Amino acid sequence: RLVGDPLPPLERRRQEHPAAVEDRRIDFVQRLELVVAGVDDIRIRKQIGQTGQPGVGAARHRVGGEAGRAEIRPGAVGAAPRLPIGAYNVPGRTGLNLTPAALAALWRIPQLVAVKESSGNLVQIGTMAAELPPGKRLLSGDDNLALPSIAAGASGLVSVMANLLPRETRALVKAALAGNLDEAREWHATLLPVMEALFVESNPIPLKWALSELGLIQPGIRLPLTPLSERHHATVRRALRSANLQ
């Protein structure tokens, strides 16, 4: 489903590759237009290098320190010398917000080419967009903020929902980037129930349950993730019906 519906690089889907079977993962990597890999994963970095695919190493776990002050351990940047690096700001999972001032300091690193912004703070997103150096990219990390983020200056989306609705997600992003606001708002309103349903529990739990419900993957989930609570099944099913998936 994913490989059969390729999207431009800045509309890439998030893939939780550690859950993939090893001999299928390399085939998946070879068929992608762009690979985003954590810099801590030595095997996937080697696989990307061997396939010759364009890629970005996402330095999610190496930003630390006090709020507003950026620190990157030298090993984080040097860990993927053949790949450009993308920062990932996700305060909900790291407990630390990458502020515009901290990001401005990080932009001095030549390998750093993009930031995936998942703070949920539109003021911060707008500030980052306004201060974006030439040649750098700001990507929305939240489906439900893709439209306003692109309106503020983001150039794409790293999407969860696109695993379920690749064509529809692409249509939303394409319309927003083209400045077709009426069309983009219509797509946003149509897809909003799905966006919200996919986060009734920690991602990717609802997503994997939805994919299983549609028969696209086998049932089950790996620890430390747990199955979607039964009280949320009806919510996700309603969202799937709203998108004509059931």
Neighbours of 36 (CB within 10 A): 24
- DSSP label at 71? E
Backbone φ/ψ region at 146: left (φ over 0), alpha (ψ -120 to 50), beta = alpha
Angstrom distance (rounded) from CA 35 to CA 104:
25
Pairing of strands 63-64, 71-72: antiparallel
Among residues 174, 166, 137, the alpha carbon closest in space to that of 154 is found at 137
Q: Which helix (H) or strand (E) holds 77?
A: helix 74-78
Q: Is 88 a catalytic residue?
A: yes
Residue 35: both structure tokens together: 């690979």
Angstrom distance (rounded) from CA 10 to CA 78:
24
Contact indicator for 11, 157 with CB cutoff of 8 Å? yes
- Of 46, 88, 136, 174, the catalytic one is 88
Omega of the bond prior to 110 within 30 degrees of 0, cis?
Answer: no
- Of 116, 136, 174, 208, the catalytic one is 116
Positions annotated as catalytic residues are 88, 116
